[in-house]
């Protein structure tokens, strides 16, 4: 596969932008090699600058559940753009999008729109702190919730639970406002609540953690978190930037059997345009300005073009048949790719979210259980899949996404290619 044009675009990008990218994972640092530059996309296919066609299993990291440039979404965006790109004033479609979101969250009455998931999470945390009058936030090690200061923290050593900044430029004082505990460890949670429960404003968790592999929680784990929050007066925030509208129309509460107090959204509700959202009960959300004293704002929040893309996407998803079809495709990919003689060619999957877990070990429930051998195998297969025309997310810690634009032939082709290349890799490993 020739990629000269991508390479020269990459050199130019590196001369004007840090690392040539505008979000770090795009640089391919986790897999080696040079990033592919995209010229256009439609359905489940990307076309790169050199004219190569690639079947996309990254799908812009989750928003494109209907595929690239879905005709309904493009039509809605074009019509909205023709009516003006931004008003900085109220328009009717904002309330329509909020209603469409709330239809998926029957317990909630309010939505505030932002321009990114990061902003939605920042807003939700501020709200939780204001509502409880407490200052600490508890997150899980390896969980990603956007790039705000308070959440770029990791667990410290030993029994210390105060976060350590995981990025330069995050003040220690800010990192110390976030407590970090390992996933899948109820005793650690109980201990931190016993020690500091009265200071904890909220617990933030992805109910289906999909940012460090796919770390499906064991039964009872989310219930235990809910109970601890209730016992100590802390709020429970489900960060559903990925999971929202991905597995069903709405949030995952009915699937996991636990109700959160607040939910953050992004990705799918913006249909591929920049959107984030905080959803929750009126008693909490109405504390935001202008009604309340919790400040939050955004020049482009509720942007008419983004809102149009979100509305068009949710209109298609409202027909629940989409989810059954995505489950069927996901199951097919998994079955076809794992029925090989390579025992480590395995996946952790929920519906259309698939994580390559290329290991003979049982799937991990926490970030520090992800084994190096699995990641090394992923790196090898990432390169060979790209050569064959499959665009996988360029990191072994990232999940793959299917969309309604993928069909049986697309997943069968990927499965077959994976099996062949895994077989060759296994033979090299044992040589
Ligand atoms: N929360 C979660 C769970 C996410 O997956 C992401 C992005 N991948 C974010 C927050 C941040 O969203 P954004 O990139 O839109 O700021």
d(CA 250, CA 317): 10
- Structure tokens belonging to residue 107: 């317990």
pTM of the model: 0.98
CA 423 → CA 32, 345, 414, distances in Å? 22, 9, 14
Phi, psi of 335 (to 5 degrees): -65, -45
pLDDT band at 158 (very low <50, low <70, confident <90, very high): low
Which ligand 1 atom lies nearest to the CA of residue 61? 8
206 ligand 1 Cβ < 6 A = yes
- Percent of the chain exceeding pLDDT 90 equals 94
Q: Which residue has the tokens 């009604």?
A: 291
**CATH for 182:** 3.40.640.10
Residues 223 and 306 in one domain: yes
Q: Considering only CA atoms, which residue is closest to atom 1 of ligand 1?
A: 145
3-state helix, strand, coil in the chain (%, to 5): 40, 15, 40
Mean pLDDT of the chain: 96
Residues 346 and 360 in one domain: yes
Residues 303 and 313 in one domain: yes
146 ligand 1 Cβ < 6 A = yes
Report pLDDT for 161.
78
| Residue pLDDT, tens place only, 354-399 | 999 999 999 999 888 898 999 999 999 999 999 999 999 999 999 9
Beta bridge partners, 337, equal none
d(CA 95, CA 43): 29
d(CA 169, CA 108): 36
Q: Considering only CA atoms, which residue is closest to atom 7 of ligand 1?
A: 146
Which ligand 1 atom lies nearest to the CA of residue 267? 15
User: Average pLDDT of 17-33?
Assistant: 95
267 is catalytic: yes
Q: Which of 317, 348, 378 is the last residue of a domain?
A: 317
| Residue pLDDT, tens place only, 307-366 | 999 999 999 999 889 999 999 999 999 999 997 789 999 999 999 999 999 999 999 998
Residues 22 and 161 in one domain: no
Residues composing the chain? 431
6 ligand 1 Cβ < 6 A = no
CA–centroid distance, residue 146 to ligand 1 (Å): 5
| Residue pLDDT, tens place only, 77-90 | 999 999 999 999 99
d(CA 236, CA 225): 8
Residues 6 or more apart from 335 whose CB is under 8 A from it?
none
1 and 389 Cβ atoms separated by less than 8 Å: yes
Residues 334 and 198 in one domain: no
112 and 286 Cβ atoms separated by less than 8 Å: no
Residues 185 and 215 in one domain: yes
**CATH for 44:** 3.90.1150.10
Residues 83 and 188 in one domain: yes
Residues 305 and 325 in one domain: no
d(CA 404, CA 410): 11
How far does CA 153 lie from the centroid of its chain? 18
How far does CA 288 lie from the centroid of its chain? 25
Active-site residue, selected from the candidate residues 239, 261, 410, 421? 239
285 and 260 Cβ atoms separated by less than 8 Å: no
269 and 94 Cβ atoms separated by less than 8 Å: no
d(CA 378, CA 382): 6
CA–centroid distance, residue 388 to ligand 1 (Å): 30
CA atoms within 13 A on the CB side of 345: 25
Residues 6 or more apart from 188 whose CB is under 8 A from it?
161, 181, 182
Active-site residue, selected from the candidate residues 144, 221, 323, 391? 144
- Helix residue spans in 164-303 (DSSP H): 172-175, 186-196, 221-232, 253-256, 282-285
Residues 154 and 289 in one domain: yes
144 is catalytic: yes
Residues 6 or more apart from 29 whose CB is under 8 A from it?
19
Report pLDDT for 334.
97
User: Average pLDDT of 235-243?
Assistant: 98
Q: Which of 317, 349, 372 is the last residue of a domain?
A: 317
Q: Which residue has the tokens 């996933």?
A: 183
CA–centroid distance, residue 117 to ligand 1 (Å): 5
56 ligand 1 Cβ < 6 A = no
How far does CA 319 lie from the centroid of its chain? 23
Residues 289 and 373 in one domain: no
What is the extent of the structural domain holding 408? 4-69+320-430
pLDDT band at 236 (very low <50, low <70, confident <90, very high): very high
pLDDT band at 205 (very low <50, low <70, confident <90, very high): very high
Residues 6 or more apart from 201 whose CB is under 8 A from it?
125, 128, 129, 131, 132, 134, 135, 136, 137, 234, 235
Which range, of 159-173, 242-256, 389-403, averages the lowest pLDDT? 159-173
Listed residue (254, 303, 274) closest to 94, CA to CA: 303
143 ligand 1 Cβ < 6 A = no
SS3 call for 81: helix
115 ligand 1 Cβ < 6 A = no
Question: How many domains does one find in the chain?
Answer: 2
145 ligand 1 Cβ < 6 A = yes
Report pLDDT for 339.
73
Residues 268 and 173 in one domain: yes
pLDDT at 279 over 90: yes
What does DSSP assign to residue 396?
T
d(CA 339, CA 335): 6
Beta bridge partners, 277, equal 113, 265
CA 49 → CA 2, 36, 202, 339, 371, distances in Å? 10, 8, 45, 35, 35
DSSP codes of every residue in 341-381: S-TT--EEEETTEEEE--SSSPPPSSGGG--HHHHHHHHHH
Q: Which of 289, 317, 345 is the last residue of a domain?
A: 317
Residues 125 and 268 in one domain: yes
Its sign, for the CA torsion 54, 307, 256, 262, is positive
């Amino acid at each position: 596969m020739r990629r000269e044009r991508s390479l020269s675009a990459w050199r130019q990008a590196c001369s004007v932008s840090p690392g040539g990218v505008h979000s770090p994972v795009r640089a391919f640092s986790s897999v080696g090699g040079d990033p592919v530059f995209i010229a256009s996309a439609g359905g489940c296919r990307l076309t790169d600058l050199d004219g190569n066609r690639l079947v996309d299993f990254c799908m812009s990291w989750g928003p494109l559940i209907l595929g690239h440039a879905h005709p309904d979404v493009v039509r809605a965006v074009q019509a909205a753009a023709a009516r003006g790109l931004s008003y900085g004033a109220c328009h009717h479609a904002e309330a329509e999008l909020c209603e469409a979101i709330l239809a998926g969250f029957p317990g909630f009455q309010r939505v505030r729109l932002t321009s990114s998931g990061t902003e939605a999470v920042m807003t939700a945390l501020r709200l939780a702190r204001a509502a409880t009058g407490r200052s600490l936030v508890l997150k899980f090690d390896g969980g990603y919730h956007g790039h705000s200061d308070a959440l770029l923290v990791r667990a410290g050593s030993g029994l210390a639970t105060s976060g350590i900044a995981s990025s330069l430029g995050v003040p220690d004082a800010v990192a110390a406002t976030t407590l970090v505990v390992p996933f899948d460890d109820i005793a650690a949670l109980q201990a931190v609540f016993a020690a500091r429960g009265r200071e904890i404003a909220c617990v933030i968790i992805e109910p289906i953690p999909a940012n460090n592999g796919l770390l499906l929680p064991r039964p009872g784990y989310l219930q235990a978190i809910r109970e601890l929050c209730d016992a100590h007066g802390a709020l429970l925030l489900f960060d559903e930037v990925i999971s929202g509208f991905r597995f069903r129309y709405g949030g995952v509460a009915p699937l996991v059997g636990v109700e959160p107090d607040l939910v953050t959204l992004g990705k799918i509700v913006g249909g591929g345009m920049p959107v984030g959202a905080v959803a929750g009960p009126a008693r909490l959300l109405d504390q935001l300005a202008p009604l309340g004293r919790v400040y939050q704002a955004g020049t482009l929040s509720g942007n008419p073009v983004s809102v149009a893309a979100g509305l068009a996407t949710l209109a298609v998803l409202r027909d629940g048949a989409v989810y059954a079809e995505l489950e069927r495709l996901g199951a097919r990919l998994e079955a076809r790719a794992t029925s090989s003689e390579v025992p480590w060619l395995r996946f952790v999957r929920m519906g259309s979210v698939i994580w390559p877990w290329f290991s003979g070990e049982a799937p991990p429930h926490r970030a520090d259980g992800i084994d190096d051998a699995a990641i090394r195998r992923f790196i090898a297969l990432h390169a060979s899949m790209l050569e064959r025309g499959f665009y996988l997310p360029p990191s072994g810690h990232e999940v793959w996404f299917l969309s309604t634009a993928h069909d049986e032939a697309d997943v069968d082709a990927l499965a077959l290619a994976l099996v062949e290349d895994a077989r060759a890799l296994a033979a090299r490993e044992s040589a």
